[in-house]
A and B are shown apart, each in its own frame.
Chain A
Amino acid sequence: MALDELKIGGMGASRRRVEDNRFIRGKGRYVDDVVLPGMLHMEILRSPVAHARIKSIDTTAAWEVPGVRLVLTGETMAARNLAWMPTLSYDTQAVLATDKVRFQGQEVAAVIADDPYIAKDACSRIVVEYESLPAIVNPVQAQDPNAPLIRDDKENQATNKIFDWEIGDKEATDRAFAEADVVSTVDLHYPRSHPSPLEPCGSIADYDRSTGKLTVYMTTQAPHIIRAAVSLVAELPEHMIRIISPDLGGGFGNKVPVYPGYVISILASILTERPVKWIEDKSGNLISTGFGRDVYLQGQLALRNDGKILGMRMHTVSDHGAFYADAQPTKFKIGLMHSTFAAYDVPAAHLTSEGFYTNKAPGGVAYRCSFRVTEAMFFQERMMHAAANDLGMDQAEFRRVNLVKDDMFPYRTAFGFLTDSGQYGKCLDVALEAIGYDTFKEEQEEARKRGKLLGIGISTMTEPLGAGNSREYDILGIKMFDSAELRVHMTGKAILRTGAKTQGQGHETTWAQIVAHELGIPADDIVVEEGDTDTAPFGMGTYASRSTPVAGAAVAMVARKIRAKARKIAAHLLEVSEEDIEWELGRFYVRGNEERGVTIQDCALAAYSNVPDGLEPGLENVAYYDPPNLTWPFAAYVCKVEVDPQTGVWDVLKFVAVDDCGVRINPMIVEGQIMGGLTEAYAMASMQYITFDEEGNCIGSNYMDYLLPTAWETPGFELHEVVTPCPHHPIGAKGIGECATVGGPAAFVNAVMNAIEHTGVRNVDMPLMPNRVYEALQTGQNVSGMPPVKGD
């Protein structure tokens, strides 16, 4: 008489979300909703220019505004050694500018006042004299020998280059190209984009001199990392810092880095001894916080006439802005870019990377992906598309030939990753079947006759999710494990805490389902809590789709520890030896006598009331999970579009997504993640980018110019599933939150290109805005969003 797992909201149940109960009532609690007694408000004055020396800052008039309590400049910060802070990539970033401003929107001064209106008034009264310097707005300019040195603050920084990095086997790759029948080439730019959660960043710092305790409410996806960073920057002892990350209005990677505003609000609270709230406006968010992408992707495939890939070469040139501030595993300078082509059987590969400083906002964050995997997979699928065309081979067939086969797992990629499992071919077939791939070519021909341009695009992806095993992955030296703490109360109800931090993924719902699956405690009896460093066990936070692969695994492991102890208690209650105890969902019973059993709830009560001798009371535990490997979900996305030849406007006729993310804890939530991800993929392919003019003005500093798709443009998506359980994850799950953002863009782009490549055009850079598509159609020439970049 085991419990029905679906009835108790266990694994596989599309359980409605518990967090919704507050959100739909307008009772969510985001940072800006928090009000503390005596709270002051902070506004930041930002640089209007992209590159300039600061000649003087006059704050006199600002101090005179009634209601102003404090005005801070770089000088004030410098006096306390806070003018600069370390970034998550071993660089430094200005908190408030002292010597120069290095990008438009950089923090120059801050005003703390009774209300934000007054603070804003005072900001506009601060007079800053700038001596303007030439602005560097792309890596080409950055490499110019006569280019001004952006980071003249750093010792041994003679140029604007941040790093040179390479991985792979150059010799083997060169040999492969020597043997190739055909060599295919692409030259792409993945434009600068911004994760742009609707809620901007903000913080409320509350320093209590009497206790020496600093409490900070903060929009952060990684509270514990922030606590460590704050402890380093502010030189406060870690146990005196409490970071609380309440409800987050989306994150998508934007809320991982440490931002100057956080640090300034902390100092402001220390100086005023009052809580200080800083809530960034949308422009501040778009022009100063972590953007994504902005990298040139150049590559070649060595091909045999029969379609077999022999080798792959890739070169990336990335624009990191004025400070190298995007978080990534220490070992890898350009994130996990070398996960490219992990889905295909490629014998030899070589990747070289260059990173540059420019007069743009710092970033290159993992925007809804696992450290640059979006760029890696976009390159992979645009490369595959070009190669198939160069071979004169069918797009699907070319992929089938080269996809890693089911019997090849675990598969070691040319760059050394070990992909764990998958049914790549099956996923592709399901997608092609659903979109009607077989009949498309006739459809396309027939439409051409009527002057209509149809196109179809295929994209497959796999992504190294769940960074990661501590041998390889750390940030600032902190290993990338994660944690869970479970406390089962006397009545069998429980509270679960993890080191992750939900931003809409629904942890409060799904974590409870994992516990229900492991212990048979109904999900509704388990409350989940995250984001408070004083109560949550140490964890690395939520980004790079690591929650389910790492924290989710920790949840399963801690539940198993609890079950192990409960088994001892059960044996005691049933007066048999532990070896004679059997487990079924929610219940222990005596082997051979199913009637004689006790529920997990009985054991919980006994844990506090009737413990066997020698066993410590209570039913609580903590688990730290260090994943043996990354999880490797797979997806096949196929898109069908129609392009209007007169205007270049394109519409999605159908989009099919087949995702294999292993075992699905909550199918409803998994599908929600996929649809959300596909929408961001569509956004990047169609309209969402941030560009700069030659003076370094950010064109895209607000939602009038930085375009996010609405319900009207966004196409519908048809979802299918394939399930290959993850062999090394305790519940067989893989990450899913980002797959669609990672693999989606190439499907849209390949489809549009397929519709217009009869003109001879090979590439149009994203976003595929009507004017670019039209120009390509007219000229048959490639349309690049950015200037050319030097090759290998």
Chain B
Amino acid sequence: MYPSRFAYDAPTTVAEAVAILDRNGGEAKVLAGGQSLVPMLKLRFASPERLVDINNIKALDYHRLDPDGTLRIGALCRHEDLEFSEIIKDSHPTLAQAAALVADPIVRTRGTFVGSVCHADPQGDWAATMIALDGRIVAQGPNGRREIAMRDFVSGPFTNALAYNELAVEAVIPPAKGKAVGGYLKLERRVGDFATASVAVALDMNGDVVTRAGCALAGVGGKTIDANEAISVLVGKTLTAESIEAAAEAVADAADPRTDHRGSADYKRHIVKTFVTRILSGIARSEQKAA
């Protein structure tokens, strides 16, 4: 498998990178971790005229918590950085659980969080967690920066809201209102498999009351499914068998799966319901222990 020819730039600043993208009017693609793009180049599904490799923009290699609890993930933060991060281990359970389930351990050393969000694979993990956490993407264009709410960012299969001359430089996850709890479950047939179905849940709790509820799904629709509205039935409630059941039902309805060799639409919908129930019940149990 051999990629077709392309021109290559490796800028060291964001401004440079954006300028190159701007000059090339949509014919240049950004290369970050490359764990999705390079295989596509090898299979020649993608044959861009130019690659803009951002791996030399060291300023983008970070993830950190602001004093107010806002989590900022730079465009060069690798999956592995989050998998072994002390920062998010306790503060962001949804991300922490997803981190270990992205692709496989070797891919995780190279692939980037922001890159896979931008890739917008309907079966991708990170886009789902970002939607559940109501995150934002910071895009840098020729005329400065803008922030795009995650719910508007994934616009279709493998398609995002970035303009051709914009570079996603950072992912922003707002601080929890109260205590952040949540989880990520993924049905994969083996490590590195794409999700048959996966569920990201992120709740903010005030005592035992849910103050904010976020949820998103991967693998069960033409694009990452935003189930925030569905799970909002939990807001203002405590986690009881009844409220959990209701939420799981609502989220399952939000799924839009297709029958394929991974399973029937009904099966995938059922898995979504099961996973939501498991995540929420798990939270309820640990909250009781804590109390």
Contact A121 B4 (CB under 8 A): yes
For B187, the chain A residues whose CB sits under 8 A away are: 647, 649, 770
Contact B191 A771 (CB under 8 A): no
For B189, the chain A residues whose CB sits under 8 A away are: 686-687, 707, 769-770
Q: How far is the CB of A715 from chain B (nearest CB, A)?
A: 13
User: A708 vs B189: C-alpha distance in the bound complex, in angstroms?
Assistant: 10
Verify if A582 is at the interface (C-beta below 8 Å from B): no
1/0 contact string of B160-194 vs chain A (CB within 8 Å)? 00000000000000000000000000010111111
Assuming A121-B5, A124-B44, is B194 touching A771 (CB within 8 A)?
no
Verify if A165 is at the interface (C-beta below 8 Å from B): no
Verify if B104 is at the interface (C-beta below 8 Å from A): yes
Verify if B262 is at the interface (C-beta below 8 Å from A): yes
Verify if B1 is at the interface (C-beta below 8 Å from A): yes
Q: How far is the CB of A189 from chain B (nearest CB, A)?
A: 15
Number of A-B contacts (CB under 8 A): 54
Verify if A117 is at the interface (C-beta below 8 Å from B): yes
1/0 contact string of A700-725 vs chain B (CB within 8 Å)? 00001001111011000000000000
Q: How far is the CB of A48 from chain B (nearest CB, A)?
A: 13
For A707, the chain B residues whose CB sits under 8 A away are: 189-190, 193
- From B44, B191, B271, A710 is in contact (CB under 8 Å) with B191
Q: How far is the CB of A22 from chain B (nearest CB, A)?
A: 24
Q: How far is the CB of A453 from chain B (nearest CB, A)?
A: 15
Contact B2 A771 (CB under 8 A): no
1/0 contact string of B1-34 vs chain A (CB within 8 Å)? 1111100000000000000000000000000000
Contact A712 B4 (CB under 8 A): no
User: A699 vs B187: C-alpha distance in the bound complex, in angstroms?
Assistant: 20
For B196, the chain A residues whose CB sits under 8 A away are: 770-771
Q: Please give me the residue from chain A that is nearest to B259 by CB atom.
A: A771
For A708, the chain B residues whose CB sits under 8 A away are: 190
CB neighbors of B among A280-297 (8 A): 281-283
Verify if A774 is at the interface (C-beta below 8 Å from B): yes
Most chain B CB inside 10 Å of its own CB: which residue of A281, A283, A687, A774: A774
User: A686 vs B2: C-alpha distance in the bound complex, in angstroms?
Assistant: 32
Verify if A372 is at the interface (C-beta below 8 Å from B): no
For B262, the chain A residues whose CB sits under 8 A away are: 769, 771
1/0 contact string of A101-121 vs chain B (CB within 8 Å)? 000000000000000110011
User: A647 vs B44: C-alpha distance in the bound complex, in angstroms?
Assistant: 36
Q: Please give me the residue from chain A that is nearest to B5 by CB atom.
A: A121
User: A283 vs B274: C-alpha distance in the bound complex, in angstroms?
Assistant: 35
Assuming A121-B4, A281-B1, A710-B104, is B191 touching A775 (CB within 8 A)?
no
Contact B194 A699 (CB under 8 A): no
Verify if A439 is at the interface (C-beta below 8 Å from B): no
Contact A646 B274 (CB under 8 A): yes
Verify if A599 is at the interface (C-beta below 8 Å from B): no
For B44, the chain A residues whose CB sits under 8 A away are: 120, 124
For A116, the chain B residues whose CB sits under 8 A away are: 2
Verify if A691 is at the interface (C-beta below 8 Å from B): yes
Contact A771 B190 (CB under 8 A): no
Contact B4 A713 (CB under 8 A): no
User: A699 vs B194: C-alpha distance in the bound complex, in angstroms?
Assistant: 14
User: A687 vs B104: C-alpha distance in the bound complex, in angstroms?
Assistant: 17
CB neighbors of B among A33-69 (8 A): none
Contact B264 A775 (CB under 8 A): yes
For A120, the chain B residues whose CB sits under 8 A away are: 2, 4, 44
User: A124 vs B104: C-alpha distance in the bound complex, in angstroms?
Assistant: 32
Verify if B69 is at the interface (C-beta below 8 Å from A): no
Assuming A120-B2, A281-B1, is B190 touching A687 (CB within 8 A)?
yes
Q: Contact residues of A with B, CB < 8 Å?
A: 116-117, 120-121, 124, 281-283, 646-647, 649, 686-687, 691, 699, 704, 707-710, 712-713, 769-771, 774-775
Those 3 A-B pairs whose CB atoms lie nearest each other, nearest first: A771-B263, A117-B2, A120-B2
13 A–B contacts, CB within 8 A, in A order: A120-B2, A120-B4, A121-B4, A124-B4, A124-B44, A646-B274, A649-B187, A709-B190, A710-B191, A710-B192, A713-B191, A775-B264, A775-B267
